[in-house]
Amino acid sequence: YATWSKMSDFRLHDNLLSGSLPKEWSAMGELEVLSLGSNRFLGTLPSDFGILSKMSILRLEENTFSGSLPKDWSSMTALETLSLATNRLTGTLPPEFFQALSGLQYMYLYENFFSGSFPVEWGEITTLKAFSVFQNRLSGTLPTAYGRWTNLEALDFSNNKLAGSLPAEWNTMTGLQVLFGSSNLFVGTLPSSWSSLTNLQNANFSHNCLTGGLPESLVESWSPLVLIFAEFWEQGGEKCSGGNETSPFADVLDGIGSTPELP
C-alpha cells in the first residue's frame, strides 16, 4: 500500500468485505476520507492509523470490530467525522482521546459495548455538533463540563446505565435540537434552567426515575413542537430499573446534526 501514497479518498462502504484492516494502510499519508461502513470487517482498530494526520472523515460503522478505542487516534488532528457505530467495541472512553482533536464535529459510538463513565476531559471539545453513545454500558453521572458543548445540535446517551441528576449547567447548550436520555437511571426533576434550550425539537427522557412535574419555566419557554417523553416515576419502584428501547436518533436527525453525506 506504500505505492498508494497519494491516495486521498478511499471508499468501500456497502459491500461484503471481511477480514481485518491492514495496518499498512497507515502508509497512505495523504488520506483524508476512509469509508468502510456496512461490511464484515473484524478485529481491532489499528492504532497505526493515528499517524494519518490529514484524515477528516473516518467511517467504520456497521462492521464487527472489537477491542478498545485506540488512544493513538487522538493524533488524527484533522478529524471532523468519526463513526464507529454498530460494532463490538469495548473498554472505557479514554480521557486523552480528544486532546488534539480540536475540529471534531460528528462522533457516533452507538450500539457498542463501551463501559465506565464519561471522561470530564471530553468537555474541552467545543466543536462537536452531534454525539451519540446510544445503547452501550456506560455508567456514572453526566459531567457538568459538557455544558461547554455550545455548538452541539444532537445528543443521544439513551439505553445506558447512567444515573444521578440532570445537570442544570447544560443550559448553555442553546443550539440543541435533539436530546435523548431515555432508559437510564436518572433521578430528580428536569432542570428549570433548561428553559434556555429553546431550539429543542425532540427530547426523550422516558424510562428513568424522574419525579415531580414539568417546571413551569420549561412549559413557558419550550416550543409546543417539542416532543417530551418524560414519565416521572417514584424512586425505588420496579420501573426505576431503566428500560430498553430503540432510539429514534437516526430517524429524527434528518439534517439536524447528522453525519454529512459523503460527496
Q: What pLDDT is recorded for position 242? A: 57
Q: What pLDDT is recorded for position 183? A: 95
Which secondary structure element, helix H or strand E, spans residue 202, and what is its range? strand 202-204
CA separation for the pair 161, 40 (Å, rounded): 29
Please write the tens of the pLDDT for every residue from 60-77.
Answer: 999 999 999 998 998 899
Cβ partners under 8 Å of residue 145, min gap 6: 120, 122, 123, 124
pTM of the model: 0.88
Neighbours of 45 (CB within 10 A): 22
Q: What pLDDT is recorded for position 251? A: 54
Q: What is the pLDDT along the chain (263 residues), one digit of tens a residue?
A: 657 788 999 999 999 999 999 988 999 999 999 999 999 999 999 999 999 999 999 999 999 999 999 989 988 999 999 999 999 999 999 988 877 788 999 999 999 999 999 999 999 889 999 999 999 999 999 999 999 999 999 999 999 999 999 999 999 999 999 999 999 999 999 999 999 999 988 899 999 999 888 788 887 777 665 655 554 444 444 456 555 655 555 554 444 444 445 43
Q: What pLDDT is recorded for position 234? A: 43
Q: What pLDDT is recorded for position 14? A: 96
Q: Is 158 left (phi over 0), alpha (psi -120 to 50) or beta?
A: beta
Q: What pLDDT is recorded for position 245? A: 59
Burial grade of 58 (CB within 10 A; 0-12, 13-18, 19 or more)? buried
Cell triple for residue 41? Answer: 470487517
